[in-house]
Structure 1
Amino acid sequence: MNHNGRLILIVEDHLPIAEMLGGYFEAGGYEVDFARDGAEALRLSANNPYDAILLDRNLPRIDGVEVCRRIRQEQRRATPILMLTARDSVQDRVEGLEAGADDYLTKPFSIEELEARLRGLMRRSRKTASEPIRVGDLVLDPHSMTAERGGVTIHLTPIGFQILHLLMREAPRVVSREEIQREVWRDEPPDSDSLRSHLYILRKAIDRGHDTPLLQTIPGMGFRIGEHPSAFTASRNQRESVAMRG
C-alpha cells in the first residue's frame, strides 16, 4: 500500500474524540486506522507499517503505557508515538516517555498543535545518516537507528536517539539546551518539561549499570557526551542533583 508517509493509528476508547480526530486527519489527506483498546492497538501495530501512532493513556484491557512499552520492546517498532492523556504531572510524563513515547499532549488539546507535533515526529523519524559514531564503549549507528554500550543494546525513542546523535556527533563539545531544541524540535519547541524528561530518560538508558557516566551536565552551559572528566564536567554529586532538572 502506498500511503505517502501519512498512515496513522488512532488509539482512543472515547468514541467522540476518536471520530473528531479521525475526521480531521482524513480530511487532511491521512489514512487512518482505529483501535478502541490496548489489545487491538497491539494487534494493529504488529501488522501495519504506521508512520505515527496517537495513543490514549487510559485504555480498556491494556493501558497506553503498557501498549507503548510492548510496541518498543516486544515488537521492536520505532514508529513515532504521541501519547494523549488527561494527566499532566511530571511523573506521569516521565512514565510515558520511559515506556517509549516520543511526545506527550495533555487533554484538552488544540488539534492544530496535535497535528503540528505529529508532523514533526514523522519528519524527524525519517532522518537517517550513515557512519556509526563511537564515544568510549558507546556506539550509535544512525543508519539502523540503533545504539549499544559495552555490546548491550540500548532502547531509545526516536527523540532520545536524535538527542544522543547530536551529542555524540559534537563530542566532546558542550551542547547547549537551545541547540538541542533547535536540532530536534526546530520550529516546534517543546515545553520545558519535555526536554528535561527526555534527558533524564536518556541518562538512565546509557549510564545505568556503568561505573563511568557518559552523559554529563555542565551547569550553566549544557550537556556533553564524554568518556573522561574535564574542567567543565560537574562532579558526580552535581550530576545526580540535576538529573531530574535536566
Structure 2
Amino acid sequence: MKILVVEDVLSLQELLAEYFKRRGFAVDTAKNGIEGIQALQSTRYDAMILDLGLPDMDGEDVLQARAQTPHGPTPCVILSARDALQSRIACLNAGADDYMLKPFDMSELEARLRAVLRRSGNVFHQLHHGNLKFEPASRHTVVAGQVLHLSRRESMLLEEMLRVAPRIVIKDLLEERLYSYTESVTLNAIEALVSRLRRKLAAAGADIGIDTVRGVGYRIVPNRSDA
C-alpha cells in the first residue's frame, strides 16, 4: 500500500510519514498543494492524507484537482484545524472520504485510513496462498503454522505479490510501490529484495515461490524443486 501525505508543517509531516512507514505503508510527502497535485499526476496512490491549510492553495483545491489526474480520484482523509461545520460539509461534498480535526490520535487516524481503504476496495482481509498466510494490518506472516519474520520491505513486497497472484507484478511498478520518490533505489534493489524473500520462503518450507519473468517482473508460483 502506498499513500501520499500533503502537510506543510515539517514536523507533523515527518511524524506521519514515519508512523505509516512503520505500519507497512510506502509513503510519499508533499509540503504544498502544487507538490501534492504533481505527485498525484505521476503516481498511483492507494490513499491520501491532506491538510487543508497549505501555504500556496487551499487543500480543497487539491481535493478537487485529484479527479483530473490520470489515476482518478484518490481516496482522501482530511486533516484540519478547521472545526466549522461548513468546512467539513464542503470537503465531504467535494469527495473527501473522511475528515479529522487537529489535534488527533495517530492510531485513530490509522483506523480511519484503513476504513477508507476498505470502502474503496483495498480490503485488509487475510491473504493466503498455499500454506502461507499474511495479515496486512499487523504484517504478521505464517508459513505452515510457524511465524515467518520478515523485514518491513520484505513484507511489503510479499503483500504486493499476494494481492495479484498468480499474475505478474511489473518490476518498475514494484519500485514505485515499495519506495518513496525521495529514497535512492539502486539498480539491483528489487532483485536483492526478491532474492531475500525467496530464500526466507524456501527456508520456512513455504509451498509457494517467486518466479522471475525475465525483462518483465515477478510472480507467485507453486514451489518447484528447480526454483
TM-score in terms of structure 2 length? 0.52
Matched, 1:22 2:17: yes
Matched, 1:59 2:61: no
Deviation at 1:127, TM superposition (A): 6.8
Secondary structure at 2:5 match in 1 = strand
Secondary structure at 2:100 match in 1 = strand
CA distance in 2, matches of 1:26, 1:76: 23
Deviation at 1:74, TM superposition (A): 5.7
Residue number among 73, 82, 91 corresponding to 1:78 in the alignment = 73
| Number of corresponding residues | 123
Residue number among 81, 94, 112 corresponding to 1:117 in the alignment = 112
Contact 2:44 / 2:71 at 8 angstroms: preserved in 1? no
Deviation at 1:73, TM superposition (A): 4.6
Contact 1:55 / 1:64 at 8 angstroms: preserved in 2? yes
User: Where does structure 1 differ by over 6 angstroms across 4 or more consecutive aligned residues?
Assistant: none
CA distance in 1, matches of 2:15, 2:8: 12
Contact 1:42 / 1:71 at 8 angstroms: preserved in 2? yes
Contact 1:66 / 1:99 at 8 angstroms: preserved in 2? no
Q: Deviations over 1:45-90 (max 9, x none)?
A: 1111100000000102122001101112565723210010001111
C-alpha distance 31-66 of structure 1, shift in aligned 2 (>3 A) = same
**Long gaps (5+) in structure 1:** 1-5, 129-246
CA distance in 2, matches of 1:102, 1:121: 6
C-alpha distance 104-81 of structure 1, shift in aligned 2 (>3 A) = same
Contact 1:81 / 1:102 at 8 angstroms: preserved in 2? yes
Residue number among 89, 100, 110 corresponding to 1:94 in the alignment = 89
Matching residue's letter, 1:100: G
Alignment of 1:183-194 (within 5 A): none
Secondary structure at 2:89 match in 1 = helix
Q: Deviations over 1:159-194 (max 9, x none)?
A: xxxxxxxxxxxxxxxxxxxxxxxxxxxxxxxxxxxx
Secondary structure at 2:39 match in 1 = helix
Q: Which has the higher contact order (CA 8 A, sep 6+)?
A: 2
CA distance in 1, matches of 2:3, 2:71: 17
Contact 2:49 / 2:77 at 8 angstroms: preserved in 1? yes
Contact 1:80 / 1:101 at 8 angstroms: preserved in 2? yes
Q: Deviations over 1:131-166 (max 9, x none)?
A: xxxxxxxxxxxxxxxxxxxxxxxxxxxxxxxxxxxx
Matching residue's letter, 1:125: S
CA distance in 1, matches of 2:68, 2:98: 18
Contact 2:51 / 2:78 at 8 angstroms: preserved in 1? yes
Secondary structure at 2:99 match in 1 = strand
Secondary structure at 2:73 match in 1 = coil
Contact 1:72 / 1:100 at 8 angstroms: preserved in 2? no
Indicate the RMSD between aligned Cα atoms, in angstroms. 1.7
Contact 1:80 / 1:125 at 8 angstroms: preserved in 2? yes
CA distance in 1, matches of 2:60, 2:43: 20
Alignment of 1:1-246 (within 5 A): 6-73=1-68, 77-126=72-121
CA distance in 2, matches of 1:84, 1:59: 11
Matching residue's letter, 2:121: R
Contact 2:41 / 2:69 at 8 angstroms: preserved in 1? no
**Long gaps (5+) in structure 2:** 124-227
C-alpha distance 22-52 of structure 1, shift in aligned 2 (>3 A) = same
Matching residue's letter, 1:23: E
CA distance in 1, matches of 2:4, 2:71: 17
